[in-house]
Amino acid sequence: MKTRIYAALGAVLLSGLGAQAQQPLPLSLAECRERALAHSEELQQADNRLEQARLDRQIASTASLPKIEGSATGAYVLPDIDMMGMELRMRGTYMAGLTLTQPIYTGGKISAGRQMARIGEEIAEEQRRMTRMDVLVEADHAYWSLVAVDRKVRMLESYAAQMDTLYVQTATAVEAGMALENDRLRIEAKRSEIRYQLQKARNGADLCRMSLCRVIGVGHDLRPEPTDTLFQPLAPGALQADLEARPELRMLEQQVAIGKQQIRDARSSMLPTAGLSLGYTYYGNIKLQSMVDAGGGLVVPYTQEFRDGIGLAMLAVKIPIFHWGESRKKVRKARHELQNAQLDLQKNTRLMTLEVEQAIRNVEDGYRMIQTAELALRQAEENLRVMRNRHAAQMAPLTDLMDAQSQWQQAASNRIEAQTQYRIYQTEYLRATGQLE
């Protein structure tokens, strides 16, 4: 008896924990997007790459500024150095100084580096935009897929309820001798088929819900419940095949710009460079020892210590004369890279144009599919109503009624698929034209 009580209490506790583990999470499409953007590791990596590109630009901007460096040196030299009868002692000699270096002319290398760093930052910004769009597309796919499967589950539940009602009516008629047993068996087989479809749809809904949880970054203890489930599709209107806002196109154009700067950078190694250096060094503890005549035949030791500072100003000009054609080959290589970037731009522009045209056609076809599916559903509903009345008046066989119900179920499923696919096509069009924000 106690075992049964404990088992019952355990079942109650487990059911309570299970209910607590699946807390509903009402979720609109805008909230889904916000959560997906906040959770996306790819977008966080894109933010890091953008910050790196900004730092690269700031680093490149310092190349033309003067550099100040400090140095300190200590030396202990043994043995002492003999200098014409005198000894130069450098035991504990020290030097300390500052050096300022200012590039004057580098053949355009610094300017090309700054331009490439600026272009690199723009590319990183476009990469971030592209990653953001990819995250939004994935979020929309997961959201609308869950909406579609949930609606199919409710539709199949309604279909199952219709078949249950028909089964009860037919079973009653069989008992009264007004229907055949074969009719009841046929309905029972159809009910089993519907239950199978319903279970598959529920499993699909669970998988879609798990996928949405992954996209928005929540645990499986929450149960996302989409709230934007009402469909009022509007005619798409005139859609423009414009690529100007697409990040991929801008990135390819920036790659061409980088190729031009790389030619400048390679050409700079063929030109002279000039730089100015200014420095000041202070030294000390350098001693010169010798024996000097103090008069009267007396020789005494003499030590002189050197402590002083010296300044230095130097202008250096470097002119390349002969490097076996290395610089010219680098320029030719950079030109080939520029041509490859231009060819990539041409090829991918054509491909992106085809992608946009396909996206426009998908949106337009998706809207027409909705209209066709709604018309088919209205016809199926009317046919089902007529068949129910005729079957109730014993003017139509059971098979006709069941066929009408199957047609209604297929038409309802087609409308759900058409409506959700239309929303996905709209998102794809916005991404293809660079307008998904």
Beta strands in 44-176 (DSSP E): 67-76, 81-83, 86-89, 91-105
pLDDT one-digit tens code per residue, 85-143: 788 888 889 999 999 999 999 989 999 999 999 999 999 999 999 999 999 999 999 99
- 253: CB partners within 8 A, 6+ apart: 345
What average pLDDT does this structure show over 360-369? 94
For 41, the token pair is 């590791």
pLDDT one-digit tens code per residue, 180-231: 888 889 999 999 999 999 999 999 999 999 999 999 999 888 899 999 877 7
Statement: residue 2 has pLDDT above 80 = no
Tell me the CATH class for 30-63+106-271+320-432: mainly alpha
Which pLDDT belongs to residue 21? 55
- 24: CB partners within 8 A, 6+ apart: 222, 223, 225
> How confident is the prediction for the chain on average, in pLDDT?
89
What average pLDDT does this structure show over 303-331? 90
Cα–Cα distance measured from residue 437 to residue 434, given in angstroms and rounded to the nearest whole number? 8
Statement: residue 276 has pLDDT above 70 = yes
Paired with 303 in beta bridges are 289
For 412, the token pair is 């309802």
C-alpha closest to that of 429 among 289, 242, 298: 242
Share of the chain above pLDDT 90, in %: 69
Statement: residue 255 has pLDDT above 90 = yes
Which pLDDT belongs to residue 367? 93
Would you place residue 379 in the very low, low, confident or very high pLDDT band (cuts 50, 70, 90)?
Answer: very high
Which pLDDT belongs to residue 378? 95
DSSP 402-437: HHHHHHHHHHHHHHHHHHHHHHHHHHHHHHHTT---
Q: Is the peptide bond before 66 cis (omega within 30 degrees of 0)?
A: no
Which pLDDT belongs to residue 15? 42
Lowest mean pLDDT among 27-41, 45-59, 286-300, 361-375: 286-300
Which pLDDT belongs to residue 16? 44
What average pLDDT does this structure show over 66-92? 88
Looking at residue 243, what DSSP letter applies? -
Would you place residue 236 in the very low, low, confident or very high pLDDT band (cuts 50, 70, 90)?
Answer: confident
Which pLDDT belongs to residue 247? 94
What average pLDDT does this structure show over 383-392? 91
Model confidence, pTM? 0.84
Looking at residue 350, what DSSP letter applies? H
Which pLDDT belongs to residue 8? 44
Would you list the domain boundaries of the chain?
30-63+106-271+320-432, 81-105+274-319
2 vs 314, which has greater pLDDT?
Answer: 314
